[in-house]
Amino acid sequence: MLVKTGQGDRQAFAMLYQATSAKLFALALRILASRDLAEEALQDAYVKIWHSADTYREDKAAVMTWMTAIVRNRCIDLLRASPREQGLHEDQSFDDWASEDLGPMEAAATQSDTKALLRCMSQLAPKQRQAFALSYFHGLAHEQLAQQLAQPLGTVKTWLRRGLETLKNCMGGVK
Amino acid sequence: MRYDDPKTRDALAAEYALGSLKGAARKRFEALSSKRTDWQLAAKWWLSRLHLLADMLPAIAPREQLWQAIEKRLFGAKSSVSRWANWWPSLALVSSGMAAALVLFIVTSEPQIIEVPVEVAAKEAPAPVALLADAEHKAAWMLTLAKDNNGQPELRMATMSGVKPVSNKSYELWILPPDKSAPISVGLMPLQGKHHRVVSEKVATLLLEGALAVTLEPVGGAPNGIPTGKVLYQGQLTQI
């Protein structure tokens, strides 16, 4: 589908948009917590996708990774540029990622690899998952994470490092 | 730092993909990966996995206007190919989530509903299947495009629980051609049970190429062959 987009096929692009926009809009909304900003980010991202598609040749899963990266990067840029960056909204504390119940995420997942990652994430401590979510959805570095989670810097660094090692071991077995 | 240590490389690649690697450390990582394939591969491995975090969020469809804004920005004012062009982008539902739901449905559905594609599959390649579903992803009909005993294309329709009962109205099926020309009627949809209808080769091709939409119309169908109601159910034939 994406290959056709590269050849200037507008119809294929429309279908690509249909197939991916709801997931990517959810991502933008999660990062930016504002419909207006999320729409702006998505608009910029799809324009970029259209212009860069001719350079992209990969399998379907890789295409989604690539598009997700474009949307996330654009959103994080917008987040940094907005005055809101000082503090996260209350509804953006990502407490749900610290929950023991990963059922809602399992229900939302559309790719089998996502379900595999979730199984691996269930091995992490709730706070580790929350740190991952804050990093991924807000691009928070170690110091900001420590502040947000009210933990010493060393603790947060260890959570991330060990958490990522756990994931690597867990998913490395799948690979 | 020992850059040849795979453990260091993996740890940095993971934090790079997660987004927690910042500033000078991030730049250093990018500079190193531009020169070293093993670093590139490590970053790629982590990116392909950590971006799945986005797939853990429930899909939220953006407003229709967003697609129009994107088209306008990319293709200018000429974006309205026809007056049907605005009708078309509202089909945000044919999503990857929907395709996954379709597969799941086929796997988990009861035998009497799945019997249609199965009996076809025994003879030849699986027939294309579509679920026509409402905005809440509740499926109202399952369509299969098969061949009848004479080899003619046949559209089979199985009614499912998602059909909202109506009185003094008819549900009508439309093909939305990929070139965004006017919708083509494929006739009325059953309100219960299973029905089938022989279609021409041309319509069969269009059914496969276009998106499918169901509108609510006056009894017997839209009087002028042009949809008058809004799209209530939609889907697309997919080869499973």
Q: Does the beta-carbon distance from A136 to B179 stay under 8 Å?
A: no
Residue B92 has a pLDDT of 40
The answer to whether the beta carbons of residues A158 and B20 sit under 8 Å apart is: no
Q: Does the beta-carbon distance from A165 to B11 stay under 8 Å?
A: yes
Residue B111 has a pLDDT of 36
* First-last CA distance in chain B: 50
Q: Does the beta-carbon distance from B14 to A164 stay under 8 Å?
A: yes
What are A63-79's pLDDT values in tens digits? Answer: 888 999 999 999 998 98
Q: Which residues of chain B are in CATH 2.60.40 domains?
A: 86-235
Measured in whole angstroms, how far is the alpha carbon of residue A137 from the centre of its chain? 6
Q: Does the beta-carbon distance from A136 to B52 stay under 8 Å?
A: no
Residues in chain B: 240
> How far is it, in rounded angstroms, from Cα B96 to Cα A55?
23
H-type helices in B109-210, by residue range?
A: 111-123, 201-209
> How far is it, in rounded angstroms, from Cα A88 to Cα B89?
34
Question: What domains are defined for chain A?
Answer: 1-86 (1.10.1740.10), 89-175 (1.10.10.10)
Residue B79 has a pLDDT of 44
Residue A57 has a pLDDT of 59
Residue B158 has a pLDDT of 86
What are A86-122's pLDDT values in tens digits? Answer: 455 555 667 778 888 889 999 999 888 899 999 999 9
Q: Which of A39, A74, A77, A110 to mutate to test the interface with B (most CBs of B within 10 A)?
A: A110
The answer to whether the beta carbons of residues A42 and A25 sit under 8 Å apart is: yes
The reported pTM is: 0.60
What are A122-164's pLDDT values in tens digits? Answer: 999 999 999 999 999 988 889 999 998 999 999 999 999 999 9
Taking the CA of residue B150 and the nearest CA in chain A, the distance in Å comes to 34
Which residues of A are less than 8 Å from B61 in CB distance? 21-22, 25
Contacts of B28 (CB under 8 A, 6+ apart): none
The answer to whether the beta carbons of residues B158 and B141 sit under 8 Å apart is: yes
Other Cβ atoms closer than 10 A to A73: 15
**Assembly ipTM:** 0.90
Taking the CA of residue B5 and the nearest CA in chain A, the distance in Å comes to 15
Question: Across the interface, which of A111, A164, A168 has its CB nearest the CB of B52?
Answer: A111
- Helices A126-138 and A142-149 pack at an angle, to 10 degrees, of 130
Residue A116 has a pLDDT of 93
Fold of B86-235: Immunoglobulin-like (2.60.40)
Name which of B56, B102, B138, B198 is nearest A121 in CA terms.
B56
Which pair of structure tokens corresponds to residue B142? 């399952």
Question: Across the interface, which of B54, B71, B89 has its CB nearest the CB of A68?
Answer: B54
Which pair of structure tokens corresponds to residue B216? 């609510």
Name which of B152, B130, B139, B140 is nearest B240 in CA terms.
B130
Give yes or no for residue A20 having a pLDDT over 80.
yes
Please list the ranges in chain B whose pLDDT falls under 50. 79-83, 85-97, 100-124
> How far is it, in rounded angstroms, from Cα A141 to Cα B44?
20
> How far is it, in rounded angstroms, from Cα B31 to Cα A76?
21
Name which of B139, B151, B133, B154 is nearest B211 in CA terms.
B133
